[in-house]
Amino acid sequence: MLYDKARIFVQAGGGGNGCMSFRREAHVPMGGPDGGDGGRGADVVLVCDDSLRDLQSFKRSAHYKAGRGRHGEGNQRHGADGETMEVRVPPGTEVHKWDGTVYDLVRPGQRVQIAGGGSGGRGNRKFKSSTRQSPRFAEKGLEGDEGWIDLRLKLLADVGLVGVPNAGKSSLISVVTRAAPKIANYPFTTLEPVLGTLDGGDRQLILADIPGLIEGASDGAGLGHEFLAHVERTRLLVHVLELAPMDGSDPIENYETIERELEKHDKRLARLPRVLVLSKADLVPADVVEDAREYWQEHFDALAPPVEAWDTPNPLDRVPVIVTSSATKVGLEELRTELLRRVPLQSVEVLEELAGEGELAEHRVFKPATGKGWRVEQLEEGLFRVSGEQVERLLARHDLENEEALAHVEHRLNKMGIVRALEAEGFESGDDVEIAGIVFELN
């Protein structure tokens, strides 16, 4: 079964707390503050990995939490930053973030920071000034980003199975990849592409069973014309040819029909590497099977360039002919081995095409000036509310039970112009102010 959707929860690491500490050494009776800063929390990064082919791993684990930064310590020792958590996804993964941002990971090695780690708090040494010689407070680290993200796989199939209707493609993909297509003894049982994952141990391949093609498919005839595009980005085509078609048609004509339609749709498909699979061998006498295999192998060898013309002989230039039977499992292991051997680990041409390679023209980015980022409103007589990320982060960084920390917060609110804005709304000394769900009294 192919897993092409997943929903996961990611949480970046929180920042480490700053340290409140004072220098304590022999013969230094009044050492100054020496608290170190907390480390930054770890980011969560999605990495496009070409060794993966579906989202199956996310069915087992849906929560990813990165480590937090270490707390600061005395003697000006800063906490270490958290180690970035990398979450691997297959090429073709479309990422929908909780804020509506969409990322498309196509090229192996692409990285997207999906959740940023929280910044570390400053130690008390950073708050020393001419008027505050011995600050007895430090900042807390902030929490990292977190939220649910949706992963949707728009598959880049490695291998496409093509052939006339009822050639045996569905049976073949069902036993090679454990996909579960509809199988019946009549044409057009496959009405949409069926995808399966071939597991090779250290790597995976995606096989796509394309609905049966008929003559004129490239011009809109039959069902297959809607799905020809699904083979455009494949790296290898497996042409499945029934040895003795039950409708009495000629296998050679069937082969030529499909190849002709593929070339008419896209000339690139005619240049893709091929593997010819002679299917349903269990329904044909052994001598007929062998004659057919020899005929097709001689046919492809005659089309290949002579060995003398090769700069370096390459066995992969030869189109293999493999006799298979989905019922008796004949030739299936040979086919698996051949597919894993012939499909490269990554296709540079396809990936560059998908990634939209090309140098961008030099440009400048103009951003609007940042607003004040907070809002003041009066809730009732003697109670006001200040909302906004900037002020909420300020309160999250400090222990409001600490008198010095509270005085520092009030000083920062005054510098930000919030006190003036409150007074403009009718605030008087001693009134309550609510910020981030915390109500306290401002003087």
Q: What is the pLDDT of residues 149-186, one digit of tens each?
A: 999 887 667 888 888 887 788 888 888 876 554 444 43
Whole-angstrom Cα distance, residue 48 to residue 193?
24
Whole-angstrom Cα distance, residue 342 to residue 236?
8
pTM of the model: 0.60
Q: Is the pLDDT of residue 368 over 70?
A: no
Is there a contact between 89 and 151 (Cβ–Cβ < 8 Å)?
A: yes
How far is CA 225 from each of CA 156, 192, 210, 317, 334, rounded to the nearest angstrom? 19, 11, 10, 29, 31
More confident site: 406 or 344: 406
Range of 165-169, 356-360, 421-425 with top mean pLDDT:
421-425
- Which residues have C-beta within 8 Å of that of residue 26, sequence separation ≥ 6? none
Length of the chain: 443
Both structure tokens of 380: 């009732």
The pLDDT, as a whole number, for residue 257 is 86
What average pLDDT does this structure show over 109-123? 94
Q: Which CATH architecture has domain 1-154?
A: Distorted Sandwich (2.70)
pLDDT band at 359 (very low <50, low <70, confident <90, very high): very low
Match 């728009």 to its residue by tokens.
154
More confident site: 8 or 347: 8
**Residues spanned by CATH 2.70.210.12 within the chain?**
1-154
**Residues spanned by CATH 3.40.50.300 within the chain?**
159-355
Q: Which CATH architecture has domain 159-355?
A: 3-Layer(aba) Sandwich (3.40)
**Residues spanned by CATH 3.30.300.350 within the chain?**
375-441
Mean pLDDT, all residues of the chain = 81
More confident site: 57 or 81: 81
pLDDT band at 188 (very low <50, low <70, confident <90, very high): very low
Q: Is the pLDDT of residue 38 over 80?
A: yes
pLDDT band at 362 (very low <50, low <70, confident <90, very high): very low
Whole-angstrom Cα distance, residue 266 to residue 232?
8
Q: Is the pLDDT of residue 375 over 80?
A: yes
The pLDDT, as a whole number, for residue 233 is 65
- Which residues have C-beta within 8 Å of that of residue 303, sequence separation ≥ 6? 319
- Homologous superfamily, domain 375-441: GTP-binding protein OBG, C-terminal domain (3.30.300.350)
pLDDT band at 7 (very low <50, low <70, confident <90, very high): very high
Q: Is the pLDDT of residue 432 over 70?
A: yes
pLDDT per position as a tens digit, 293-326: 999 999 888 876 555 444 444 556 678 999 999 8
**Beta strands 111-115 and 44-48, pairing class:** antiparallel
The pLDDT, as a whole number, for residue 89 is 94
Measure the N-to-C terminal CA separation of the chain; round to a whole number of Å.
65
Whole-angstrom Cα distance, residue 173 to residue 8?
30
